[in-house]
Structure 1
């Protein structure tokens, strides 16, 4: 079980309780939810967004996709999905494709879908393809309180 170093430092600095859940290797967020036997709408996945002002992180449930049109309307800026190389550069302490959803740990502005607020439990990538971080929903809400909260996903 591996937590990315910047994520672990950030989580420890907040003082919020969290645990980890090991699961068989899974390449995508949806596969991760299945492998860990957690509800897909309670597993937060991160999507790196490219915009003129620099990268930002969009966070949606693992069984949803970012609605780029809605996000562009909210931000009033042209944007698109970041390239894989950009993900690797930003999340350089993580396995390829296993980026945590806590943008603050990486100095990224973050926008999170409203559906991930007020849940009983939330899981998210720890930085590898075999470990999730598990938090009580109220603690996750506090962890993400500085992120923008909007309706940014489609099923």
Structure 2
């Protein structure tokens, strides 16, 4: 498998330049950054959360964790981590646990940790455990410009 067909189609429609970077199989975004020799501060990781009855992606660097207390306070609504199995139907063209951080491609609301705004380049899982997507910071910011940003990681 390579990157998710829905993700590829979305990036193409938005006119974003990107490259696919193959790497050894990795179980997590942080591990993928490690095996691909990428700084995990530049690796955007998607965390699927439940906000009431809805799902949302919280996007943070792979070097950090979502602080659910901060995210809940910022959103003003109860938030909990979604179970990995809950992602299967939402990301049907992705491997379990390899969620791309572009919620809009999957009809999901996305919030992004502001620490990802300062990077020169961004990398993220493309939907499998063996391919990263790399894009310039300019394309990343253009892609994420309508997504709310806040400080909810540590």
Alignment TM-score, normalising by the size of structure 2: 0.97
**CA-to-partner distance for each residue in 1:58-106, whole Å, 9 max, x for gaps?**
0000011001000000111111000112111211110010000000000
1:150 and 2:153 are equivalent in the alignment = no
2:121 and 2:24 map into 1 onto residues whose CA distance is: 20
> Contact between 1:118 and 1:141, CA under 8 Å: does it hold in 2?
no
* Aligned position for 2:74: 74
1:32 and 1:14 map into 2 onto residues whose CA distance is: 26
2:118 and 2:138 map into 1 onto residues whose CA distance is: 7
Q: How many residues get paired? A: 154
User: What is the CA distance between 1:53 and its match in structure 2?
Assistant: 4.5
SS in 1 for 2:41: helix
**CA-to-partner distance for each residue in 1:31-57, whole Å, 9 max, x for gaps?**
100011100000000000111140000
SS in 2 for 1:26: coil
Alignment TM-score, normalising by the size of structure 1: 0.97
Q: Which of structure 1's runs of 4+ aligned residues deviate more than 4 A?
A: none
2:15 and 2:92 map into 1 onto residues whose CA distance is: 24
SS in 1 for 2:48: strand
- Tell me, which stretches of 5 or more residues in structure 2 are unaligned? none
* Aligned position for 1:32: 32
- 1:61-100 equivalences in 2 (<5 Å): 61-100=61-100
Q: What's the RMSD between the two structures over aligned residues?
A: 0.9
> Contact between 1:119 and 1:138, CA under 8 Å: does it hold in 2?
no
1:44 and 1:52 map into 2 onto residues whose CA distance is: 24
> Contact between 2:113 and 2:152, CA under 8 Å: does it hold in 1?
yes
1:6 and 2:15 are equivalent in the alignment = no
User: What is the CA distance between 1:118 and its match in structure 2?
Assistant: 3.0
- Tell me, which stretches of 5 or more residues in structure 1 are unaligned? none
SS in 2 for 1:55: strand
